[in-house]
Amino acid sequence: MGTGNGPRDERGAQTMGDTQAGSTSPVRAADAAAPVFSRCVVAGASGGVGGMFTGLLLRSGVEVTRVDLAARREGEPGVRDVADDIRAPGPATARAVADADLVLLAVPEQAALDAVAPLAALMRPGALLADTLSVKSRMARRLRTTAPALQAVGLNPMFAPSLPLPGRPVAAVTVTGGPAARAFLGLVAGWGGRVVELDPAEHDTLTAVQQAATHAAVLSFGLALAELRPGMTALRASAPPPHRTLLMLLARIASGSPEVYWDVQAGNPHADAARRALGRGLERIGRAVADGDEDAFEDLVEEVRGALGDHHRDELAQACARLFADLA
């Protein structure tokens, strides 16, 4: 976590407008107006996240070279496509990387880790290396040991790339700061992203709760449906708002790519602890009911209230009421 004194979000994490540790000026959306980035390399642009950032960069007037093993045959205005492996850059990729102000890795984690050393040898001083990995600690360690002088920022859009960016949170981990790093965060803020600055360990701990635990809970609910086999037509017709909301979440996850959710569960070093905590919660509820101990059950609810805190519980309960009203 940075040490600035700017405003913080509901978790206490720094948001845009804070001062990062080691910097002397706040990060502002206005930084996006500075013509810092004119040429960018995006590795993995054929994926959803890479494609989203490619489109945003193009709309900001940045020339983009897309490096992908599945490169497109027909280019677009302002775009050059190179069929190559970013882990072992060929001549065309090497030239593009050497000329780039920004190299963005929207590739699987191991590919990003393997690419650090060859890219650091090619990138010019002052250029920025960015990634979109869902786990940040391992990448931060690789950068600090392999390329300590290279400005580097990790972004994690906390939403599906099919959704619009404005107003949505983007977790940001600055590994090595500098003018390009701060300008890029300003650019993301200028696109409408709500940038939340975290350190690598904090990022991975939070996403284990936000993503791994959440997805595991919803999938477990789905597995219960598969086991109990209720009639779906009658179930939906009579579903109260909480159940209907869970059904919608389940349908969204079940309609997505299993690989995405597997990466969340298998890649985060804290995901196993999050799943075990879910299991213990179910066991404690079941034990209280099996024992006929209503007092113990009330203690569990009180424990949950304490975890949320009065302020957050009230705000979230009101938001849930509005959501349920919209469902009607």
Q: What CATH number is associated with residue 169?
A: 3.40.50.720
- pLDDT the model gives residue 74: 61
215 and 158 part of one domain: no
- pLDDT the model gives residue 72: 67
- Determine the average pLDDT of the residues in 275-295: 98
Q: How far is CA 321 from the centre of its chain?
A: 27
What is the percentage of the chain residues whose pLDDT exceeds 90?
84
Q: Is the pLDDT of residue 86 over 50?
A: yes
Q: Coil, strand, or helix at residue 170?
A: strand
Q: Is the pLDDT of residue 220 over 80?
A: yes
Task: Dig out the tokens for 23 from the structure.
Answer: 């910097």
Is 35 part of any domain? yes
190 and 300 part of one domain: no
Measured in degrees and rounded to the nearest 5, phi and psi for residue 199 equal -90, 165
Which of these three, 198, 229, 257, is where a domain ends?
Answer: 198
Q: Coil, strand, or helix at residue 70?
A: coil
Among 29-43, 70-84, 93-107, 264-278, the range scoring the smallest mean pLDDT is: 29-43
168 and 78 part of one domain: yes
- Determine the average pLDDT of the residues in 301-323: 97
Is 1 part of any domain? no
Pairing of strands 14-15, 194-197: antiparallel
The Cα–Cα gap between 82 and 44 comes to 11
> Nearest CA to 87 among 69, 64, 71, 65?
69
Q: Coil, strand, or helix at residue 264?
A: helix
Which of these three, 182, 198, 214, is where a domain ends?
Answer: 198
Which of these three, 141, 172, 198, is where a domain ends?
Answer: 198
User: In terms of residue numbers, what domain contains 180?
Assistant: 14-198
Question: Please, what is the average pLDDT of the chain?
Answer: 90
291 and 152 part of one domain: no
- Determine the average pLDDT of the residues in 60-81: 84
The Cα–Cα gap between 309 and 311 comes to 6
User: What pTM does this model have?
Assistant: 0.86
Is 3 part of any domain? no
Q: Is the pLDDT of residue 14 over 80?
A: no
